[in-house]
Structure 1
Amino acid sequence: MLATLLEAANYIHKEKNNDEVIYNQLLLNSKEFLHGIKKVISENQKDTANHKVFNQIKICEKKVVELLIQNKVDRIHELTGELREDIKDLIVIFEKEISVTYHIVFFAELGQKWDAMQSVYEAFNKRIDCEVSVVLTPIFRSIENEEGKIETDVIYEDYLTPLGIKNIPYEDYDLSKEQPDMAFISNPYESVTLPQFWPENIAKYTKLVYLPYYTEMIINDVTIQANCKLPVAKCAWRIISQSEKAKSMHEKYSVMKGKNVLVTGLPKWDGMFDSVIPSNESNEEWKRKLIGKKVFLWNSHYNINSQTSTFLEYGRHIINLFSTKEDIALIWRPHPMMGTIFKLYLPEYASYWEECKGTVENSRNMILDTNISYDMAFEYSDALISDYSSIIAQYLFTQKPILVLQKGNGAVADSEEVVQTICLEQAYSHLDIERFIKNIKNDIDPNLSQRVRIIDEDLPYADGKIGERICNLLLSEFQNSF
């Protein structure tokens, strides 16, 4: 408004004699602007250091009133020049005296997904012009049993306080009252959270920003649905994207055609540039079971009915391989929802799941990793064996060997488009897994240069500063939106 006032003052000082109607209208508009500015500042006096700004507004108002009744040309020219300088002074005083605070909220749920928000939270939290809140929300899965009753498994764990992050229980936060300037989510699925945290309901009260919790590798029907067809794709003010290639998916398939997509890289990558093992995570058992051995990190997914998971095909074989060998060790990091899925949706495999867990937990050289952060697993391991998962992209930054578990031929279908190259070692059989383990034991790693190339070509924005970049860009766009 002040910039517009100055523009008007410049115009009336130069152009008064050209159009008297516009001249008078601009003066009347200026009077309304000054009154509006004064009113807003009066209602927010806690944000003002002193009353200089009010005094300067009065000076400007007095000049405008005088100009509206003045008919002497020389005096008008003099007054319009003075008004222009008075508004310039008002802008200077305003910038010094008025403090603007942006209210930012992060809706955090599953602890293993906090890395999608962490560096963005830290960037906003460092700024003196931002007031940041973190609201801890539940995540759950539900199913109707044979008796017609709803069974629900809820995960609601305060993992933030041990990290030194103050948080608000979801019951104590009323979005309709708080109405923050920006709200961040990393969960796009409305079926697994409460209605007040559905993207479309959050977007009613604030500018919603979606931070993806995973790195996309393939564009197909499943990923198009998850990225472009859910309500968040339409109602988010901004969607953070890992690359131009990933943004193209929104341009083709989203109702917004990519207009709300901001390419910055994913903040979850930042953790790989500042990986520190949390001091609160005990690692005595890890040292006892892992030190002195070649250590493999195994990442398994729960979606056993798709290409995503090979848990049924290879799970018991992998565990048996490590059970019989003392010179290698295993860190098993199952998907955090794995137990819930088997309990509610796949009870026929629940005993298999429990058997595998029990074997690992009772072994002398295997760890069941349920830590919030994967930092310790990345630090201790010498190589990764993984289902199709975005953890592969994270692990690339360690420059350690990676084996991708496949079932079927693992080929990319004609209808699929590669977002992040998967030119890593592949396993299509038990023998392929055994061969990979043997190579790592013998320090054989022929694919290091390929992995470095993937980082350079497919993860170009990974520089450890993505959270800071997102913070600055969003605040700039927020300010410009007014």
Structure 2
Amino acid sequence: MNIKNNVKGLIKKLPGISNLVQKNEILENQLNEVKHQCVLNGRKAIEYRLKFKTLNNEKINVIFVCHRPAVWESLHSVYDVLNQDEDFNVSIVAIPNKKELPDLGLNHEEYESEGAEEFWKEYGCINGYDYEKREWFDLKKLNPDYVFFQQPYNITRCEEYKSWNVAQYAKICYVPYAYDFIGNGVLEETTPKDFMCDISFYFTQNNIDDHMVRDILKKYLIDDVKTVVTGFPRYDNLEQYKESFAKGWDFAEEGNYRVMWTPRWCTNEGNCNFFQYKDNIVKYALKHKDVSLLFRPHPQAFLNWNRTGEFPKKEADAYQKIYAEADNMSIDAEKSYFNTIFNSDCLISDTSSFIADYFTTGKPIIYCHKVDTFNELSKKMSEGFYWVHNWEELKKVLDDLKNGKDVLKERRLQLLQELFGRKQNAGETIKEIIKQDVRG
């Protein structure tokens, strides 16, 4: 049980509070029932509209609501195949995300861009938010039939863009923004009920993933969401990255051993190793000039650690300054990362879906273990990881790999073939499913 649930439990035990909490939960459930009924009524209207469009050979309008460039690859191939098909009109609406503020969390209406407007500018995106007027673009003006959100978190979006409002005039489709890598309750966090009950399609990555998602839906008593095994769109076009240029490695000397480090961004789950290794990893790189270290923090990492008080801004700035001043170290600020990982030599990480992306390169992974949070898929994959529990073990593995000793290479490549060897085109499959849905 996490801290949040513990606090809720304590509050409920306070005198007189339990009745108020119970009444509030009843009101929330009633409100959610009303919202969902509006969604169901909206779906019926959408079905009639799609039938009418089919009879009149009208194009289908698909909207991608995007806020985070770093996870665009999860939808990129879906966008491409739909945009190239004459049966569809496709648009991107770029929006900011709620900024987590000290003392307020996400309980406010302050929004901050993650570079979405600039990143999707080349796609001819519509800017969804006017920062001066503090006004939102009305999605309904685009007459959408299907809407893809990058992430399932209603709490980070304004009221007009929350799933229960959008689902009343468009079918919501969802592709997970990350490989479903983590078990032990984390899947529930990445599939929140208030979003899942409003979507029409959830596109799963494989049979195991599909089974896990169906179990979540069953737990939530949701029986009107279609899950379809399509593969993961992020892995549709991996070949293009193998010989690609990686701007993130501009600082690296030719011939250096290229190490990426991607620690988990939150500590409340008990599996983040950033604070355990942050100083030793820096010292190692400064001492070994034949190593190039690229630190890629999660977009929310420093914001979160500042909010929790674990890494105040002044300390974080000083830490980042070390990277800026070193000639063989850098912090990766690129929006996308597949060309970066294919141009690296190894990865240091803890429990993160980023490991699954890196696994597709076939290169060695040093996994920093704290607690077991693997699901059935990642547990199989982890047979190809170098497991370490402290700095001494990490240093030894890193020294071995740097010197060409990679004893897990054969097993890792075998697992790569087993788990990712089958050729897929998830984007094309998703397009065909939408076409079938349009035809009824």
Superposition TM-score tier, normalisation by shorter sequence: 0.7 to 0.9
Deviations along 1:282-322, one digit per CA (max 9) or x if unpaired, are 56xx3443322011011122202323311011111111110
Q: Provide Cα deviations, 1:345-388, integer angstroms capped at 9, x if missing partner.
A: 43654344323211111101011101001134213311111121
Check 1:263–1:349 CA distance in 2 against 1; reply closer, same or farther (3 A cut). same
Evaluate the alpha carbon distance shift between residue 317 and residue 259 of structure 1 in structure 2; reply closer, same or farther with a 3 A threshold: same
TM-score by structure 1 length?
A: 0.71
1:402-481 equivalences under 5 Å are 402-407=365-370, 410-411=371-372, 417-420=375-378, 421=380, 422-423=382-383, 424-459=385-420, 463-480=423-440
Summarize the Cα distance change of 1:381–1:218 in structure 2 as closer, same or farther, 3 Å threshold. same
Q: What is the letter of the counterpart of residue 478 of structure 1?
A: V
Question: Residues of 1 paired with 2:424 and 2:439: CA distance?
Answer: 25
The one of 145, 152, 170 equivalent to 1:206 is: 170
1:46-445, aligned counterparts within 5 Å? 99-143=57-101, 145=103, 154-158=112-116, 161=119, 164-171=122-129, 173-227=137-191, 229-254=192-217, 255-256=221-222, 259-275=225-241, 282=247, 286-346=249-309, 348-407=311-370, 410-411=371-372, 417-420=375-378, 421=380, 422-423=382-383, 424-445=385-406
Per-residue CA deviations over 1:380-413 (Å, capped at 9, x if unaligned) read 3111111211111111111111111122xx445x
Structure 1 outlier segments of 4+, above 4 Å: 149-153, 159-163, 276-279
One-letter amino acid matched to 2:95: T
TM-score w.r.t. length of structure 2 = 0.78
Query: How far is 1:224 from its partner?
Result: 2.5
Contact 2:199 2:225 in 1 (8 A): no
Q: CA deviation at 1:478?
A: 2.7
C-alpha deviation, 1:278, in angstroms: 8.0
Q: How many residues align?
A: 376
Letter in 2 for 1:186: Q
Of the structure 1 ranges 117-126 and 333-342, higher mean CA displacement relative to structure 2 is found in: 333-342
Structure 1 residues not aligned, in runs of 5+: 1-39, 48-93
Q: Which amino acid aligns with 2:399?
A: K
- CA contact 1:214–1:390 (8 Å) conserved in 2: yes
1:100 deviation in Å?
2.9
Aligned residues with identical type, % of pairs: 21
| Structure 2 CA distance for partners of 1:223 and 1:157, relative to 1, 3 Å | same
3-state SS of paired residue (2:296): strand
After superposition, give the CA deviation of every residue in 1:206-261 in whole Å (9 maximum; x if it has no partner). 0100111111123322223422x422211110011111111212322313358521
| Contact 2:359/2:416 (<8 A) preserved | yes
d(CA) in 2 for partners of 1:417, 1:397? 18
- Give deviations 1:50-78, integer Å, cap 9, x for gaps: xxxxxxxxxxxxxxxxxxxxxxxxxxxxx
Q: How far apart in 2 are the matches of 1:366 and 1:347?
A: 23
Q: Radius of gyration: which is bigger?
A: 1
Gaps of 5+ in 2: 1-48, 130-135
- For residue 135 of structure 1, give the secondary structure of its aligned residue in structure 2: strand
